[in-house]
């Protein structure tokens, strides 16, 4: 059961991080890097539109 708890904690933390990151991007992408069923990295690529 400990492994399940660790996975749930990882997923909850990932969701919290995404909730913080999403409002900061006007145009761009967010990429999740997953290894062994865990999110190990979140990449944020923002684009700036020239007018």
Residues 6+ apart with CB under 8 A from 2: none
- Does pLDDT of 45 surpass 90? yes
What is the reported pLDDT for 6? Answer: 66
Mean pLDDT of the chain: 85
Query: Residue 38's beta-bridge partner residues?
Result: 35
Average pLDDT, integer, range 17-42: 91
Pairwise CA distance, residues 51 & 31, whole Å? 27
- Does pLDDT of 31 surpass 90? yes
């Amino acid at each position: 059961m400990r492994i399940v708890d660790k996975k749930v904690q990882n997923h909850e933390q990932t969701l919290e991080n995404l909730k913080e990151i999403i409002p900061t991007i006007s145009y761009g992408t967010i990429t999740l890097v997953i290894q062994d069923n865990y999110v190990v990295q979140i990449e944020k690529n923002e684009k700036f539109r020239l007018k």
